[in-house]
């Protein structure tokens, strides 16, 4: 147990406290979604950055975040001030026996204008609503039928948008390409290089004339401009991708009632006059008033900043856009949309995304800082050595002539020589400080997010993409995720009778009547019967509600007629905690009927009687209780969801008369009469068994957490492959929610490892399971769709909300939205998560090989001979290949099946693995050996000893430059598959990679053969080209052979860490 606690303490994800390592290392933030502003500020201050505006572009903008909070605070204060002023004015007038005046001003075809509607809801002006004739009068003014809604044809919608506006708000324009170009200029080293280029240009033209003197300065300037241009284009494209994904995140879909039927529309298409059904977890899409409500409670904290839940009734019917339905259900009449609402004004003022950093991005900034410090040190040493050699007369030009002679060399020439040395040193810094390394994360994330949309996953939080690659367990819902969510009642026990296909003739009249009444009234669903009799009936609601309503239709239910026969007194909406919902009805004979519907064994436990086939009320003796329990178990073992329907009568006199007391009334739930137990079939998704097996191969344990009966959960788990056999279906692997929550924290922690199935669980049980697993150092992904799932979704490392069945509250708390509610899509997200990490590692291996080789060759050559084989323009071209083009090629590799045949990526796993070190060292040593041999022995090896000294040096340096670049091109293929021997697997599927490699080769040929004056190169003959290609090609067989060299399991970086004292068990 001590070992477990120690492991948990070492990991930020296991709990809120930070480990000693994390406190010391500002770049070690395992969970950025809960990190404090101060913590985020710390790593920014610790990073070595050449271009802050670019490096931190896709991280959280701390200044804007604070401005956003301040803006929100001001708008909230504004809302409260207006209301307070109105209430004061209303109080004064009422004290004088007057009512505030509310005059109607017609607008277009409507007797009421937008200004009056805005003040009505903004001020919560109840007296104005009464002057309009209440909700009915207001709906008449807006030409809305309170039962059927608006007409909803195109002409009607257009007219309403023209008069009252649309439900959109002006968005701040995204940054233009010129802004990205300007930001790319902000790099300190590039600015120094441009200044050096201008000075060199001026001195060159002065000493050598315009025709020849502009090449040195001009070539550096051109190279810098090219780097800036390519960088800006790449960044701009990423920005456009993020913009489109952000738009997708904001586009919520909701149901509205138009022409008597419920249809789903985008939140942007809602108009004034629309009727919008609201259920627990929904976002209020516009300002409006409630026209019907059952225990409706609204969380207005988004607008008021207060976490208090506000109950809505006829005394306070006003709803504000942007708030969330905390409990109950109702229907609202929309009165204001878009910027005519406080929420719209707020969104218009803070619509710009403030960004977000990911743990990998922070770690890569740390790696870039370390590499940058090494590079700066090397560049500084090179600068000092070259300057010392130059001014001491030890530096010679290509023809062997001493470049600086004290008292003889002109000031201009001396300055020009010093500037050339400075440009080399600064260019080494450009190459050495890998600015593109942290930005490669955003590149691969942008690519992955776009592709994940096609795989039915919408990423809300960037960090979830990469964290999913570390997931060790997935806690999945059953209904709709593992199953199809296409429910049908296939079996029922009515009275003592088991029936298959329902037929009202099989049942007694009273029993049929009560069943139909309970089905039609105690539901949040609805039925639309088209005017033309031959058209199909349309049923709306949750899959369970729809299944029971269809069953009711088969029993002969006339939905509208039954609902019109009784009036609703009070309702207790279904919730996942209680696992049942009820309704109190005033029926025509002055009786009160209370209907309940919910989890079969829970409702059965409250039943004391049942109605037999002869319409007689029979007491529920022990024998009958066992009979019904066996029926439930039998259906559950065949993976049927069991729902019981019951009712009771109640004295009208005992029903609270006062509206406030009625809203607090708890419906009687004892002494119920059982009407029916129905078995609902929800088949497993065809793809789910393969998806679960793939997870198991990948080292990710799938756990089912469901509110369903434990027997149903077990049957589905066996069907899905979560439990492999009946032998696995033991108490150790299966647990009920109530038993789990009754355990102590330590016991929950211990048992959580073994749990495969949790039945009859509440959302709080799911939260407790997530917490227990995280304390065991698991990286937990959780699926959820209900409002009460929000805490578990937030607590989990990756919260996955369901796109179809998920409430807005669940989606807001999630990191990724699974658009098709399919478990197979969850597994695809795991695949993409691993791909993100793998692609970054490929890029690191490639970039570090270039870094090491370029730095060492220039350093050794500078110290030993006072000259560098790779000049400033060549290094800038190498930087372009390494940073922007390399990131594009390697960070956009699509995921492969190979990724799912390895264990999850550990959160503490080093960025550079032992395999990467092996590959990197082999390639770097090879490149350095070849290039250093060419540098010091190139003339003799290439038979250039008898050539002109200046030309021989240029040929040798050109060959070094050409071989170096071709080595990187060939090594780019090696970097694709760090741990696979076949580096060409799937190569033709990555068109971007092949395109970038082809472009690099073409540009290299052009640079060497045609741009020699700019790059200080000479044309190479075919033999030299073959030598360059062979030098590059050898890296392929070398990499292949190198992969047979075994590497230790313990990361190399761990060998250098201070060993922790052994724990005492």
Q: Cβ–Cβ contacts within 10 Å for residue 34, how many?
A: 13
The pLDDT of residue 696 is above 60: yes
Span 366-394, average pLDDT = 82
Instruction: Classify 279 in phi/psi space as left (phi over 0), alpha (psi -120 to 50) or beta.
Output: beta
Quick one: which of 246, 255, 301, 247 has its CA closest to 275? 255
The arithmetic mean of pLDDT across residues 870-891, rounded, is 80
- Taking alpha carbons only, the member of 259, 254, 256 closest to residue 153 is 259
pLDDT beyond 80 at 393: no
E strands, 190-247, are none
Cα 213 to chain center, whole Å?
Answer: 54
Position 694 scores a pLDDT of 94
For position 12, what pLDDT does the model report? 30
Statement: residue 436 has pLDDT above 80: no
Q: How far apart are CA 288 and CA 17, in angstroms?
A: 44
Of 14, 40, 45, nearest to 28 by C-alpha is 40
Question: Could you report the per-residue pLDDT of 949-996, keeping only the tens digit for each?
Answer: 778 888 988 999 999 999 999 999 999 999 889 999 888 888 889 999
Task: Please check the confidence at residue 99 and state whether its pLDDT lies above 60.
Answer: no
pLDDT of residue 949: 75
Which pLDDT belongs to residue 617?
A: 92
Residue 169: closest CA among 2, 3, 395, 350: 350
Is the confidence at residue 1027, as pLDDT, over 90? yes
- Which 3 state secondary structure label does DSSP give 922? helix
Residues of 225-239 as b/e, b for ≥16 C-beta within 10 angstroms?
Answer: eebbebbbebbbebb
Residue 1036 confidence class, pLDDT cut points 50, 70, 90: very high
Statement: residue 11 has pLDDT above 50 = no
Q: What is the sign, positive or negative, of the torsion defined by CA atoms of 541, 543, 544, 548?
A: positive
Residue 810 contacts residue 785 (beta carbons within 8 Å): yes
Residue 728 annotated as catalytic: no
Is residue 146 a contact partner of residue 194, using CB atoms and an 8 Å limit? Answer: no
SS (H, E, C) 162-181: HHHCCCCCCCCCCCCHHHHH
Share above pLDDT 90 across residues of the chain, in percent, rounded to a whole number: 34
User: CA 399, 403, 406, 409: dihedral to nearest 10 degrees?
Assistant: 100
Q: Per-residue confidence at 207, pLDDT binned at 50, 70, 90?
A: low
Could you write out the DSSP letters of every residue in 451-496? HHHHTTEEESSHHHHHHGGG--EEEE-STTTTB----EEEEEEETT
Quote the pLDDT of residue 906: 77
Of 245-254, 329-338, 798-807, 1008-1017, the poorest mean pLDDT is in 245-254
Check whether 3 has a pLDDT greater than 50: no
Sign of CA dihedral 679, 681, 682, 683: positive
* CA distance linking residue 714 with residue 727, whole number of Å: 12
- For 605, other C-beta atoms within 10 Å of its C-beta total 13
Q: What CA–CA distance (Å, rounded) separates 871 from 382?
A: 13
Highest mean pLDDT among 146-155, 293-302, 402-411: 146-155
pLDDT tier at 504 (50, 70, 90 boundaries)? low
Q: Is 754 helix (H, G, I), strand (E, B) or coil?
A: coil
Note the Cα 48 to chain centre separation in Å.
28
Lowest mean pLDDT among 497-501, 879-883, 1004-1008: 879-883
Separation CA 296–CA 287 (nearest Å)? 16
Q: What number is the average pLDDT over the span 615-622?
A: 91
- 899-938 pLDDT, tens digit per residue, is 899 889 877 778 888 899 999 999 999 999 998 898 888 8
pLDDT at 49: 74
Catalytic residue among 299, 477, 765, 821: 477
* CB 702, CB 696: distance < 8 Å: yes
1051 has a pLDDT exceeding 90: no
What are the tokens at 96?
A: 């004088």
Edge to edge, the sheet with strand 734-736 lists: 457-459, 816-818, 798-802, 780-784, 473-476, 701-705, 757-759, 734-736
Say which residues have a Cβ less than 8 Å from residue 664's Cβ, sequence separation at least 6: 656
Under a CB-based contact definition with an 8 Å cutoff, are residues 372 and 432 in contact? yes
281 neighbors 807 (Cβ within 8 angstroms) = yes
CA distances from 763 to 60, 605, 760 (A): 31, 22, 10
Taking only the tens place, the pLDDT of each residue in 104-158 is 777 778 888 888 888 888 778 888 888 888 899 999 999 999 989 998 889 999 9
Which pLDDT score is estimated for 336? Answer: 93
- pLDDT band at residue 19 using 50, 70 and 90 as cut-offs: very low
pLDDT of residue 247: 75
What is the reported pLDDT for 15? 37
236-248 mean pLDDT: 76
What's the rounded mean pLDDT across residues 658-662? Answer: 82
Confidence of residue 640 (pLDDT cuts 50, 70, 90): very high
Region 685-708: mean pLDDT is 92
Percent of the chain topping pLDDT 70: 88
Q: Give residues with Cβ within 8 angstroms of 829, minimum separation 6.
A: 452, 455, 457, 468, 800, 816, 818
Task: Give me the chain's average pLDDT, please.
Answer: 83
**Contact status, residue 598 vs residue 626, Cβ threshold 8 Å:** no
Residue 1037's contacts (CB-CB under 8 Å, 6 or more residues apart) are none
At residue 2, does pLDDT exceed 60?
no
Q: What is the DSSP string of 329-369?
A: EEEEEEEE-GGGSHHHHHHHHH-S------HHHHHHHHHHH
374 — pLDDT class (breaks 50, 70, 90): confident
Q: How far apart are CA 192 and CA 196, in angstroms?
A: 6
């Amino acid at each position: 147990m001590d070992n477990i606690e120690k492991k948990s303490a070492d990991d930020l994800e296991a709990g809120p406290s930070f480990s000693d390592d994390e406190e010391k290392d500002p770049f070690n933030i395992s969970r950025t979604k809960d990190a404090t502003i101060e913590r985020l500020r710390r790593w920014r201050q610790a990073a070595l950055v050449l271009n802050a505006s670019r490096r931190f572009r896709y991280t959280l903008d701390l200044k804007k975040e604070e401005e956003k909070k301040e803006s929100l605070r001001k708008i909230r204060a504004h809302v409260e001030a207006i209301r307070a002023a109105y209430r004061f004015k209303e109080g004064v007038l009422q004290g004088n026996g007057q009512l505030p005046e509310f005059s109607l001003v017609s607008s277009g075809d409507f007797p009421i204008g937008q200004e009056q509607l805005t003040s009505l809801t903004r001020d919560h002006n109840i007296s104005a609503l009464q002057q309009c004739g209440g909700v009915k009068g207001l709906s008449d003014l807006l030409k809305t039928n309170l039962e059927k809604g608006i007409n909803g044809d195109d002409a009607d919608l257009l007219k309403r948008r023209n008069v009252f506006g649309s439900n959109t708000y002006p968005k701040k324009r995204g940054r233009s390409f010129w802004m990205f170009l300007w930001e790319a200029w902000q790099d300190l080293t590039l600015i120094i290089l441009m200044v050096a280029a201008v000075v060199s240009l001026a001195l060159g033209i002065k000493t050598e004339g315009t025709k020849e003197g502009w090449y040195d300065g001009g070539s550096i300037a051109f190279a810098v401009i090219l780097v800036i241009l390519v960088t800006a284009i790449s960044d701009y494209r990423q920005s456009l991708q993020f913009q489109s994904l952000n738009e997708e995140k904001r586009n919520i879909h909701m149901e509205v009632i138009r022409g008597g039927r419920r249809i789903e529309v985008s939140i942007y298409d809602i108009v004034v006059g629309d009727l919008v059904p609201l259920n627990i977890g929904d976002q209020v899409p516009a300002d409006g008033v409630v026209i019907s409500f059952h225990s409706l409670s609204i969380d207005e904290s988004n607008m008021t900043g207060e976490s208090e839940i506000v109950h809505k009734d006829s005394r306070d019917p006003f709803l504000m856009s942007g708030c969330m339905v905390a409990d109950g259900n109702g229907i609202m009449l929309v009165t204001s949309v878009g910027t005519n609402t406080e929420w719209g004004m707020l969104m218009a003022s803070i619509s710009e995304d403030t960004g977000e950093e990911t743990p990998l991005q922070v770690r890569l900034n740390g790696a870039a800082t370390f590499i940058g410090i090494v590079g700066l040190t090397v560049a500084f040493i090179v600068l000092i050595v070259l300057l010392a050699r130059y001014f001491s007369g030890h530096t010679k030009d290509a023809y062997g002539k001493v470049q600086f002679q004290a008292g003889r060399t002109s000031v201009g020439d001396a300055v020009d020589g010093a500037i050339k040395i400075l440009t080399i040193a600064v260019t080494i810094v450009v190459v050495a400080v890998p600015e593109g390394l942290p930005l490669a994360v955003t590149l691969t994330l942008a690519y992955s997010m776009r592709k994940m949309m096609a795989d039915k996953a919408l990423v809300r939080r960037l960090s979830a993409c990469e964290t999913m690659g570390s997931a060790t367990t997935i806690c999945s819902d059953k209904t709709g995720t593992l199953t199809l969510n296409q429910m049908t009642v296939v079996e029922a026990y009515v009275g003592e009778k088991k029936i298959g296909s329902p037929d009202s003739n099989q049942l007694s009249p009273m029993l049929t009547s009560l069943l139909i009444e309970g089905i039609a009234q105690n539901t949040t669903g609805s039925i639309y019967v088209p005017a033309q009799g031959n058209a199909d009936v349309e049923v709306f609601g949750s899959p369970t509600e729809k299944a029971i309503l269809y069953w009711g239709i088969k029993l002969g239910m006339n939905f509208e007629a039954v609902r019109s026969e009784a009036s609703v007194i009070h309702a207790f909406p279904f919730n996942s905690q209680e696992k049942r919902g009820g309704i109190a009805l005033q029926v025509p004979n002055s009786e009160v009927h209370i209907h309940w519907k919910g989890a079969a064994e829970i409702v059965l436990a409250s039943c004391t009687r049942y109605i037999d086939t002869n319409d007689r009320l029979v007491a529920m003796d022990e024998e009958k209780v066992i009979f019904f329990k066996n029926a439930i178990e039998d259906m559950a073992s065949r993976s049927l969801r069991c729902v019981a329907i019951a009712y009771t009568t109640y004295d009208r006199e005992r029903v609270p008369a006062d509206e406030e007391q009625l809203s607090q009334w708890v419906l009687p739930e004892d002494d119920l009469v059982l009407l029916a137990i129905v078995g609902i079939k929800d088949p497993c998704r065809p793809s789910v068994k393969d998806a679960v097996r793939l997870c198991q191969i990948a080292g990710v344990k799938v756990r089912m957490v469901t509110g369903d009966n434990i027997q149903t959960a077990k049957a589905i788990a066996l069907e899905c492959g979560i439990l492999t056999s009946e032998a696995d279906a033991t108490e150790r692997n299966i647990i009920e929610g109530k038993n789990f929550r009754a355990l102590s924290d330590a016991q929950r922690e211990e048992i959580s490892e073994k749990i495969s199935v949790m039945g009859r669980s509440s959302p709080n049980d799911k939260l407790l399971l997530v917490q227990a697993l995280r304390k065991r150092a698991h990286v937990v992904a959780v699926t959820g769709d209900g409002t009460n799932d929000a805490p578990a979704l937030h607590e989990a490392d990756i919260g996955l909300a369901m796109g179809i069945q998920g409430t807005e509250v669940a989606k807001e708390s999630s990191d990724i939205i699974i658009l098709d509610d399919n478990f197979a899509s969850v597994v695809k997200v795991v695949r993409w998560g691993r791909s993100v990490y793998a692609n970054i590692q490929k890029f690191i291996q490639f970039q570090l090989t270039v870094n090491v080789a370029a730095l060492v060759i220039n350093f050794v050559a500078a110290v030993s001979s006072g000259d560098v084989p790779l000049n400033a323009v060549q290094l800038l071209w190498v930087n372009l290949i390494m940073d922007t083009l390399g990131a594009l090629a390697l960070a956009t590799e699509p995921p492969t099946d190979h990724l799912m045949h390895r264990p999850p990526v550990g959160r503490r796993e080093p960025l550079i693995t032992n395999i990467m070190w092996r590959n990197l060292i082999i390639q770097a040593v090879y490149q350095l050996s070849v290039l250093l041999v060419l540098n010091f022995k190139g003339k003799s090896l290439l038979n250039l000893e008898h050539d002109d000294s200046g030309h021989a040096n240029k040929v040798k340096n050109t060959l070094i430059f050409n071989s170096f670049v071709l080595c990187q091109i060939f090594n780019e293929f090696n970097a694709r598959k760090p741990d696979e021997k076949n580096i060409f697997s799937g190569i033709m599927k990555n068109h971007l990679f092949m395109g970038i490699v082809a472009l690099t080769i073409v540009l290299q040929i052009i640079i060497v053969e045609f741009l020699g004056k700019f790059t200080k190169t000479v044309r190479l003959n075919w033999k030299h080209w073959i030598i360059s290609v062979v030098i590059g090609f050898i890296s392929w067989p070398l990499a292949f052979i190198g992969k047979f060299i075994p590497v230790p399991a313990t990361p190399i970086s761990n060998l250098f860490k201070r060993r922790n004292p052994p724990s005492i068990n």
